[in-house]
Amino acid sequence: MLFNSIEFAIFLPIVFLLYWFVTNKNLKMQNALVVAASYVFYGWWDWRFLSLIVFSSFVDYTVGLGLAKTQEQNKRKALLVLSILVNLGFLGFFKYFNFFAESFADAFTLLGKEMAPARLNVILPVGISFYTFQTLSYSIDVYKRKMAPTRDILSFFAFVSFFPQLVAGPIERATNLLPQFYKKRTFDYAKAVDGMRQILWGLFKKVVIADNCALFANQIFNDSASVNGSTLVLGAVFFAFQIYGDFSGYSDIAIGTSRLFGFKLMKNFAFPYFSRDIAEFWRRWHISLNTWFRDYLYIPLGGSRGGLQMKIRNTFAIFLVSGFWHGANWTFLAWGAINAFFFLPLFVSGNNRNHLGIVAENSFLPTIRDAIKILLTFALTCFAWIFFRAENITQAIQIIQEIFSASLFELPDKYIGFKAARTLLLVAIFVGIEWLGRRNEYAIEKMFFSWKPFYRYAAYYAIVFAIIAFGGQEQQFIYFQF
């Protein structure tokens, strides 16, 4: 079920009314409703894959109980390994089997032996990369004794399947979200209004920015061999705003929807395109995934401890795994490696934590120095996005070769007309609003508060009008494929 669909527009009010007016006096009934609604939400896509969520939830719930019963380290390790094997086993089978089979066959071909790869005709379950990591965090944290295992199976199943963030995050930690299912929730009008405001902004990002940018990004990348360098640059820029509007828009809708039901999810994006270097960008982009890898991969590998060689190894490990998490394609590994190369000079020189605050925090505009840094960081990010968006490494290299050719100085040709110019104008307005709201949790959180009610609500209706009038052709959320 898509957030920007008629089905969800009907589904959400029904669940909301049942949650606050029918089950509100009984916590277990509320949690049971969350589980049922979440399974309907997920099963709307393909009910057969509900069995994966149920089985994964049952395994990790049982592992938690087992960890509570034993203090013997070997048994505790065995239980943790069971959780890891089940969750990563599902992920590996559905997402990576064909990739490894084809790569194995290609390796034999390079040795002069033809080999037909074994392929599985399987569908990648939506959101499997998200909910497997979420439930894994529970098993790992219980194993490390960072939290007590739960005996409330209903709360645990609700935590794993919570529908607002089930299929594309944020990837919640059990230490944050699970305890919220233990406590009685009371309706808070101010929080609900704030949630609706964030949903509205998320829909604007998705429908007006991402879906319009997708039209031109797809056209340009699909026809990359016949367009000039300047057009390809615009294609990379369109894709940069497509993926940001799409993914951060989803996160805004998920966080806002959760607030309607009395839950607080972690922030997933913090205006990343205003970053002044790549290190700052990665602190602000897909925060829930990057902190997951930091806590459950980077630090266990040794983190920043040890010598330079270990630091470089651990840095590459986290970026490569992050790239591979996104998909079974060499382009994602290349994207991760490129970002590691961008990040390493800052890390090795000790400059990776230079920009921890908000850019131009006490002024309206950035300094010229900061503006140049922002533009340079955005250019590096767009360069890496080329590999992320390309169908294969060959296409990515051909695109980059054309960009760094004389055709870069030609006027954009194909696909760049009135509609493309209108989309760039919408992007410019969007960037301006994001800049004005960069100190908040999301851009319009406190915007318009100083205005009189008539003008404030006129601004909200203007956003609604923009969604209706300028909404692009409906596109599936990019991160559903991961």
Q: What is each CA distance from 123 to 1, 126, 167, in whole angstroms?
A: 17, 9, 15
Q: Say if CB 115 and CB 77 are below 8 A apart.
A: no
Q: What is the DSSP string of 142-191?
A: HHTTSSPPP--HHHHHHHHH-GGGTTT-----HHHHGGGGTSPP---HHH
Q: Say if CB 289 and CB 171 are below 8 A apart.
A: yes
Q: Which amino acid is at 37?
A: A
What letters, b where the CB count within 10 A reaches 16 and e where it falls short, cover 153-185? ebbbbbbbbbbbbbbbbbbbbbeebbebbeeeb
Residues annotated as catalytic are 326
Tokens 């908000």 correspond to 358
Tokens 């908040």 correspond to 440
Q: What is the DSSP string of 466-478?
A: HHHHH--S----G
Q: Say if CB 128 and CB 95 are below 8 A apart.
A: yes
Residue among 274, 244, 134 nearest 479 (CA): 244
- 393: part of which helix (H) or strand (E)? helix 393-403
